[in-house]
Chain A
Amino acid sequence: MRHLISILVENEAGALSRISGLFSARGYNIESLTVAPTEDASMSRMTIVTSGSDDVVEQITKQLNKLIDVVKVVDLSEAEHIERELMLIKVRAGQKEREDMKRMADIFRGRIIDVSDNTYTIELTGDGRKLDAFIQALDQGTIIETVRTGTSGIGRGNRILRV
Chain B
Amino acid sequence: MDRVKASALSGAEIVVRCLQEEAVEYVFGYPGGAVLFIYDELFKQDKVKHVLVRHEQGAVHAADGYSRSSQKVGVALVTSGPGVTNAVTGIATAYMDSIPMVVITGQVPTHAIGLDAFQECDTVGITRPIVKHNMLVKDVKDLATAMKKAFHIATTGRPGPVVIDIPKDVTAAVTEYHYPETVAMRSYNPVRKGHAGQIRKAVQLLSEAQRPMIYTGGGVILSDSSELLRELVKLTGFPCTNTLMGLGSYPATDKQFLGMPGMHGTYECNNAMQHSDVLLAIGARFDDRVIGNPAHFASNPRKIIHIDIDPSSISKRVKVDVPIVGNIPDVLDELIKLLRAAPKTDIKPWGKQIEEWRAKDCLKYDRSSKIIKPQFVLEKLYEITKGDAFVTSDVGQHQMWAAQFYKFDKPRRWINSGGLGTMGFGLPAAMGAQMANPGATVACVTGESSIQMCLQELSTCKQYRLPIKIVNLNNKYMGMVRQWQQFFHGNRYSESYMDALPDFVKLAEGYGHRGILVEKPADVEPALREAFANKKELYFLDFITDQTENVYPMIPGGKGNTEMILSEDL
- Which residues of the other chain, A, contact B319 by a CB distance below 8 angstroms? 55
Query: Which of the candidate stretches A66-74, A84-92, A146-154 sits at the interface with the other chain?
Result: A66-74
A63 at the interface (CB under 8 A from B): yes
- Give the distance to chain B from A69, nearest Cβ to Cβ, in Å: 6
- Determine whether A21 belongs to the interface, using a CB cutoff of 8 Å to chain B: yes
Task: Check A25/B129 contact, CB under 8 A, given A71-B186, A71-B187, A163-B186.
Answer: yes
Report Cα–Cα, A68/B190, bound state, in Å: 10
Binary per-residue interface labels of chain A (48-62) against chain B in the complex, 1 for a CB within 8 Å, 0 otherwise: 000000010011001
Known contacts being A14-B128, A21-B129, is A68 close to B312, with CB within 8 Å? Answer: no
Determine the chain B residues whose CB is within 8 A of the CB of A59 once the complex forms: 312, 316
**Any A CB within 8 A of the CB of B565:** no
Q: How many residues of A contact B (CB 8 A)?
A: 21
Chain B contacts for A10, CB-based, 8 A: 187
Complex: chain B residue closest to A62, CB-CB: B312
A71 to B185, CA, bound (A): 9
Chain A residues, CB < 8 A from B556: none
> With an 8 A cutoff between CB atoms, is B315 at the interface?
yes
User: Would A21 and B315 be within 8 Å (CB), given that A68-B133, A68-B187 are in contact?
Assistant: no
Q: Which one of A25, A62, A68 contacts B188 once the chains associate, using CB atoms below 8 Å?
A: A68
Identify the interface centre among A17, A55, A66: most chain B CB within 10 Å of its CB.
A66
Residues of B within 8 A of A68 (CB): 132-133, 153, 185, 187-188
Known contacts A58-B315, A68-B153; decide if A14 and B187 are in contact (CB<8 Å): no
Give the chain A neighbours of B186 by CB distance below 8 A. Answer: 71, 163
A69 partner, pick from B129, B136, B187, B310, beta carbons under 8 A: B187
In the complex, are the beta carbons of A63 and B185 less than 8 A apart?
no
Is residue A79 contacting chain B, with contact meaning CB distance below 8 A?
no
Question: Is the beta-carbon distance between A14 and B124 smaller than 8 angstroms?
Answer: yes
* Of listed A21, A25, A66, A68, residue having the most chain B CB within 10 A: A68
**Which residues of chain A are near B419, meaning CB under 8 Å?**
none
- Please name all residues of chain A whose beta carbon is closer than 8 Å to the beta carbon of B128 when the two chains form the complex: 14, 17-18, 21
Inter-chain contacts of B316 with A (CB < 8 A): 59
Shortest distance from the beta carbon of A13 to any chain B beta carbon, whole Å: 7
Cα of A10 to Cα of B549 in the assembled complex, Å: 54
- Minimum CB–CB distance from B85 to chain A (whole Å) comes to 18
Within the complex, the shortest CB–CB distance from A3 to chain B, in Å, comes to 17
At the interface, yes or no: A34 with Cβ under 8 Å from chain B? no
A residues less than 8 Å from B311 (CB atoms): 62, 65-66
Closest Cβ–Cβ distance, residue A80 to chain B (whole Å):
26
Does B197 sit at the interface, judged by CB under 8 A?
no
Q: Chain A residues near B133 (CB, 8 Å)?
A: 68
Among B128, B129, B312, B319, chain A packs the most CB atoms within 10 A around the CB of B312
Interface size of B in residues (CB-CB distance below 8 Å): 19
Nearest-neighbour CB distance to chain A for B242, whole angstroms, equals: 25
Find chain B residues with CB under 8 A from A25 CB: 129
Q: B490 at interface (Cβ–Cβ under 8 A)?
A: no
Interface readout for A24-40 with B: 1 if CB under 8 Å, 0 if not?
A: 01000000000000000
Closest to B187 in A: A71
Asked whether B125 is an interface residue with its Cβ less than 8 Å from the other chain, the reply is yes
Supposing A21-B129, A59-B312, A62-B311 touch, asked if A13 and B136 sit within 8 A by C-beta, the answer is yes
How far is A63 from B124 in the complex, measured between Cα atoms in Å? 19
**Contact between A63 and B312, CB atoms less than 8 A apart:** yes
Chain B, 291-327, CB within 8 A of any chain A CB: 310-312, 315-316, 319
Tell me how far the C-beta of B194 lies from the nearest C-beta in chain A, rounded to whole angstroms.
17
A163 vs chain B, min Cβ distance (A): 6
Question: Assuming A18-B128, A68-B132, is B187 touching A55 (CB within 8 A)?
Answer: no
A13 to B319 alpha-carbon distance, docked (Å): 36
**For the complex, what is the distance from the CA of A63 to the CA of B315, rounded to whole Å?**
12
A43 to B188, CA, bound (A): 14
Instruction: Determine how close the nearest CB of chain A comes to the CB of B311; give it in whole angstroms.
Output: 5
Chain A residues positioned under 8 Å from B312 (CB to CB): 59, 62-63, 65-66
A-chain residues with CB within 8 Å of residue B188 when the two chains form the complex: 68
Q: B-facing mask of A114-155, CB < 8 A → 1, else 0?
A: 000000000000000000000000000000000000000000
Bound form: Cα–Cα A55–B136 in Å = 34
A68 to B136, CA, bound (A): 14
- Smallest CB-CB separation from A18: which chain B residue? B128
| Residue interface mask B127-138, A partner, CB < 8 A = 1 | 011001101100
For residue B395, give the distance in angstroms from its CB to the closest CB of chain A: 23
Given A10-B187, A71-B187, A66:B129 Cβ within 8 A: no
Which B15-35 residues sit within 8 Å CB-CB of chain A? none
9 contacts between A and B (CB under 8 A): A10-B187, A12-B135, A14-B124, A21-B129, A66-B310, A66-B311, A66-B312, A68-B153, A68-B187
Known A12-B135, A68-B185, A70-B187; further 14 A-B contacts with Cβ < 8 A: A10-B187, A13-B136, A14-B125, A14-B128, A17-B125, A21-B129, A25-B129, A55-B315, A62-B311, A63-B312, A65-B311, A65-B312, A68-B153, A68-B187
Chain B positions near chain A (C-beta within 8 angstroms):
124-125, 128-129, 132-133, 135-136, 153, 185-188, 310-312, 315-316, 319
